[in-house]
Amino acid sequence: MTPRTYFVRTFGCQMNQHDSQRLAGLMEDSGLVAIDSEDADVVIYNTCAVRENADNKLYGNLGMLYQKKELNPDMQIAVCGCLAQKDKEIIQKKAPWVDVVIGTHNFASLPVLLERARVNKEAQLEILESLETFPSNLPTKRDAIHSALVAISVGCNNTCTFCIVPTLRGKEKDRRAGEILDEIRTLVSQGVSEIMLLGQNVNSYGIEFGDKYAFGKLLRACGEISGLDRVRFISPHPKDFTDDVIEAMAETANVMPHLHMPLQSGSDSVLANMKRSYRRNKYLGILERVRERIPHAAITTDIIVGFPGESEEDFQNTIDLVKEARFATSFTYKYSKRPGTPAAEMADQIDPKVVSQRYDRLIEVVDQVALEENQKQIGQIVEVLVNNIEGKKDEMRVKMSGRAKDNRLVHFTIPENETVRPGDLIDVEITYAAPFHLISEKPGFNLRKTRAGDIWETQKNETTNNQVNLGIPTLVRS
């Protein structure tokens, strides 16, 4: 009997990706087989609700699936995650062909609800208001052998006026450090050499059980795990960022020299209206202290343009801060009005044309700063963790890509007769810089082959489709 197939599509952030890996794990546990197509028997959309276009993307894709379901009535569609938590019954009203809608707190229910919908020929809706099972306790199908996402908390205690996440994810719930470290050790034993610690606000981790220094301690504990080469984390909040975390980053060899520190605005008045609980001088002070202790650190950020009441002077303050802060990358967003947030009810909403003009001006500046910062890398030897083999050969070379320690994306080439696999580490010399990536046209050297690379190669050789990119997903129980 041919097994049923499934496909998971993720909208949104790393936490959504983490949850999607758990949803995939649940499907694998139920005997389904993954395919990379929305022609699957079960199509799962794991949704984001942070920006307005998330709604548009979801309903546009559901419209496309309606046509597929007309041709295959046995096909099942599930909508999960943040937008499902927010819209609840609205999804079934707008798209009655959806079989299951579940929110952010009960992913473990998906297999049962899919079976109930199939047997009863009736759509299932289940939205809980509090966390049922911490997602990390569910089976997992990772996207890569060598890299893993590890949640240290879920939810958020902040009250940023533009953000709907606390409403959808609930108050912050922290995992105990022992449980987190056990998961990481298990992952390392399976070939993982890089982990990303996840939380809506990682540096408030530990507040729930009364230890405001818990995150720095967790970073140091990760440094004691043999075989763990790289530790990253996202996202901290400037209001909670403390010097003990900077010291832990500087003194723990496997904590990478990259800090993603959301700014949102360079204007004190806008930050106050956003309820961000810090001001530009505090923010710049954090960056200064990080660079004092970790001079080679790359700092990236998030910026919102066009928040209600933002004046031209406020916007210029953001431009000035970007020039001063010298971000390696800036993720920029037009303010998006989200129902249920205080900002949506504020006066002085900015004309969309003005927002677009400011956005374009900001993009020009952040791209120029990123280019100038990347150009400083030319001639440097950087260690790259290989993520991808593009499978293209040009003049007897193979094109590959990966991340440097500071998280910069590096494209490089090696001679065709060299064997480098996803998960391997290789030193390359940077020969060219663009705003969003670096290039090395010189063959790599000091190749360090890894267990993850060995596993990737073995699994690749065992497959019949000759798969050659990011790594064959694996089912892991944490």
Look at residue 396 in the predicted model and tell me its pLDDT: 59
Q: List, in order, residues 6 or more apart from 427 with CB less than 8 Å away.
A: 381, 382, 383, 384, 444, 445, 446, 447
Burial 415-424 (b: 16+ CB within 10 A, else e): eeeeebbbbb
DSSP 395-427: SSEEEEEEEETT--EEEEEEETT----TT-EEE
Look at residue 466 in the predicted model and tell me its pLDDT: 45
Provide the 8-state DSSP code for 154.
E
Smallest CA-to-CA distance from 422 within 265, 81, 194, 256 is with: 194
Look at residue 364 in the predicted model and tell me its pLDDT: 98
Half-sphere exposure (Cβ direction) of 145: Cα atoms closer than 13 Å: 25
Which residue stretches of the chain have pLDDT < 70? Answer: 52, 389-396, 463-478
Tokens of 169: 């994810």
Look at residue 224 in the predicted model and tell me its pLDDT: 97
CA 342 to chain centre: 26
Look at residue 137 in the predicted model and tell me its pLDDT: 81
Identity at 25, one-letter amino acid code: G
Helix 14-29 vs helix 110-120: crossing angle, to nearest 10: 60
User: What domains lie within the chain, and their CATH numbers?
Assistant: 5-126 (3.40.50.12160), 136-375 (3.80.30.20), 381-464 (2.40.50)
Look at residue 392 in the predicted model and tell me its pLDDT: 52
Look at residue 8 in the predicted model and tell me its pLDDT: 95
CA 265 to chain centre: 21
Look at residue 168 in the predicted model and tell me its pLDDT: 83
Query: Are the CB atoms for 123 and 99 separated by under 8 Å?
Result: yes
pTM of the model: 0.90
Look at residue 412 in the predicted model and tell me its pLDDT: 93
Provide the 8-state DSSP code for 26.
H
